[in-house]
Amino acid sequence: MAKVNPRTLSGFMELLPAQQMKMERMMQLLRESYALYGFTPLDTPVIESAEVLLAKGGGETEKQIYRFQKGDSDLALRFDLTVPLAKYVAAHCAELSFPFRRYQIGKVYRGERAQRGRFREFYQADIDVIGDGKLDILNEAEIPAVIYSTFTKLGLTKFRIRVNNRKLLNGFYRMNGMQEKAGEIMRTVDKLDKIGPEKVKLLLIDEVKMLPCKAENVLDFMAIRGTNAEVLEALERYRGMDEVFDQGLEELNTVTKYLQDFGVPEENFAVDLTIARGLDYYTGTVYETEMTEHPEIGSVCSGGRYDNLAEYYTDRQLPGVGISIGLTRLFYVLGEQGLLSDEIVTAPCDALVLPMTEELGFAVSAATALRRAGVRTQLYAEKKKFKAKMSYADKIGVPFAVFIGEDEVKEGLLSVKDMQTGEQVKLAPDEAAALISARVAEKNAGSVIRE
């Protein structure tokens, strides 16, 4: 029979078992971390009506989207988790309680040009808080606390949540009479990290057509650095000139103040006037998160405050604040950087039961006892030579092999071998379970990310 090549499409991540275990562990930690902050899990369809998904329409999105007909229906695959959230909240408004706090970890689809490290199917892990009409500023201070707690649990320590406020920026541009050019200026200023202030200044003058003194104003503003207290202090000198600016400053002060109560250490959090996060969507606090020793990776968690989640679907004013982790890309770059730990157990099981007898009753009972005690157990029943069995145990990286020969059956005991140390002991099933559980818990106490 002619065979079909079993290929996986390019741009689609498909992991081998050990890597998949690390990914699963990251997802489980995200679920737990988000739940701890009172976010409820949500699941929405991958396929939506194209009309619904493209209600906002336009731009890059439309080019990248997977869109197709099925019968009479014009369908598309979701390209983010925000549009489905907007649809969900608009559709179920009457049945939800506000503020509505949800997390969603799911696959999204973008037909990007195939390229190493770029994915067409990838997981996003989002949280959002949606208010009905209003939403208190405290929520904007809480979001970085969730980011901090989540990344810390994953094992990251060297990261910085950069926070800014769009009202502060908009107010600043307004007080300088530059509000018309705000978008262009922000896009240019975005290059500060890459090309430095001198070149940005030239671009502002030559391309954005700004007066040199105004370009300098912008660069002076963006050059404000220091501790959070110092930055906030430096911003005081602009107070009183524009009411939107003043409001933004007030919000930034509030967010910074409460962040300490939320337990976010100063070193993981920086007021940073250079970040802006796009243009038309965010209206208040904005966030980016960088790994301080790997700035080349870019932001691993971004988001912000918006005023109107679902304007394409409903007249109801639904302000919100949220963040998104591009999980597939994060996992990929962590792997590339060698930052995924090999310490945690990635084998399919903690104990591999290897019967050496014809009759398997005792081996089955032993495996059942281990499982009842919570030990992930595989029973290897294939008729292979001892060497082949041990080679299998090595290959899957199982922490413990459990031998059951005629002696063990007679004595009702298990010979338990620690595959790492080579130590072997004979134990009753419950003792074996206790030993294996304790040792595996130790191994798994480590983090999935090691820096």
Q: Position of tokens 């896009």?
A: 187
Query: Shortest Cβ distance from residue 245 to a second copy (Å)?
Result: 24
Task: Find the binder of a second copy among 164, 274, 289, 377 (CB under 8 A).
Answer: 377
Query: Shortest Cβ distance from residue 119 to a second copy (Å)?
Result: 10
Say how far apart CA 276 and CA 187 lie, in whole Å: 9
Closer by beta carbon to a second copy, 94 or else 213: 94
Say how far apart CA 73 and CA 69 lie, in whole Å: 6
Helices (H), 225-360: 228-235, 243-261, 327-336
Say how far apart CA 316 and CA 307 lie, in whole Å: 11
Task: Find the binder of a second copy among 212, 263, 265, 405 (CB under 8 A).
Answer: 263
Using the rule CB under 8 A, is 361 a contact of a second copy? yes
The interface with a second copy within residues 193-232 (CB under 8 A) comprises none
Using the rule CB under 8 A, is 349 a contact of a second copy? yes
Q: Checking DSSP bridges between strand 159-165 and strand 73-77, what pairing results, if any?
A: unpaired
Closer by beta carbon to a second copy, 109 or else 172: 109
Among 142-150, 183-191, 232-240, 331-339, the segment contacting a second copy (CB under 8 A)? 142-150
Among 68-76, 172-180, 193-201, 266-274, the segment contacting a second copy (CB under 8 A)? 68-76
Query: Shortest Cβ distance from residue 154 to a second copy (Å)?
Result: 16
- Spell out the SS3 assignment of the chain: CCCCCCCCCCCECCCCHHHHHHHHHHHHHHHHHHHHCCCEECCCCCEEEHHHHCCCCCHHHHHHCCEEEECCEEEEECCCCHHHHHHHHHHHHHHCCCCEEEEEEEEEECCCCCCCCCCCEEEEEEEEEECCCCCCCHHHHHHHHHHHHHHHHHCCCCEEEEEEEHHHHHHHHHHCCCHHHHHHHHHHHCCHHHHHHHHHHHHHHHCCCCCHHHHHHHHHHHCCCCCHHHHHHHHHHHCCCCHHHHHHHHHHHHHHHHHHHCCCCHHHEEECCCCCCCCCCEEEEEEEEEECCCHHHCCCCEEEEECCCCCCCCCCCCCEEEEEEEHHHHHHHHHHCCCECCCCCCCCCCEEEEECCCCCHHHHHHHHHHHHCCCCEEECCCCCCHHHHHHHHHHHCCCEEEEECHHHHHHCCEEEEECCCCCEEEECHHHHHHHHHHHHHHHHCCCCECC
Using the rule CB under 8 A, is 433 a contact of a second copy? no
Using the rule CB under 8 A, is 192 a contact of a second copy? no
Closer by beta carbon to a second copy, 150 or else 170: 150
Query: Shortest Cβ distance from residue 272 to a second copy (Å)?
Result: 22
Closer by beta carbon to a second copy, 150 or else 299: 150
Among 5-13, 171-179, 199-207, 317-325, the segment contacting a second copy (CB under 8 A)? 5-13
The interface with a second copy within residues 229-258 (CB under 8 A) comprises 257-258
Task: Find the binder of a second copy among 312, 317, 332, 419 (CB under 8 A).
Answer: 312
CB 107 within 8 A of CB 122: yes
Closer by beta carbon to a second copy, 190 or else 307: 307
Using the rule CB under 8 A, is 3 a contact of a second copy? yes
The interface with a second copy within residues 74-113 (CB under 8 A) comprises 75, 86-88, 90-92, 95-97, 99, 101-102, 107, 109, 111
Residues in contact with a second copy, total (CB under 8 A)? 106
Query: Shortest Cβ distance from residue 396 to a second copy (Å)?
Result: 5
Task: Find the binder of a second copy among 230, 261, 293, 411 (CB under 8 A).
Answer: 261
The interface with a second copy within residues 16-55 (CB under 8 A) comprises 16-17, 20-21, 23-24, 35-49, 51-52, 55
Helices 243-261, 228-235: inter-axial angle, 10-degree rounding = 160
Task: Find the binder of a second copy among 314, 337, 437, 444 (CB under 8 A).
Answer: 314
Closer by beta carbon to a second copy, 138 or else 241: 138
Among 210-218, 347-355, 411-419, 436-444, the segment contacting a second copy (CB under 8 A)? 347-355
Task: Find the binder of a second copy among 195, 229, 241, 381 (CB under 8 A).
Answer: 381
Closer by beta carbon to a second copy, 28 or else 424: 28
Task: Find the binder of a second copy among 29, 79, 121, 404 (CB under 8 A).
Answer: 121
Q: Tokens in use for 137?
A: 């500023």
Using the rule CB under 8 A, is 395 a contact of a second copy? yes
Closer by beta carbon to a second copy, 198 or else 315: 315
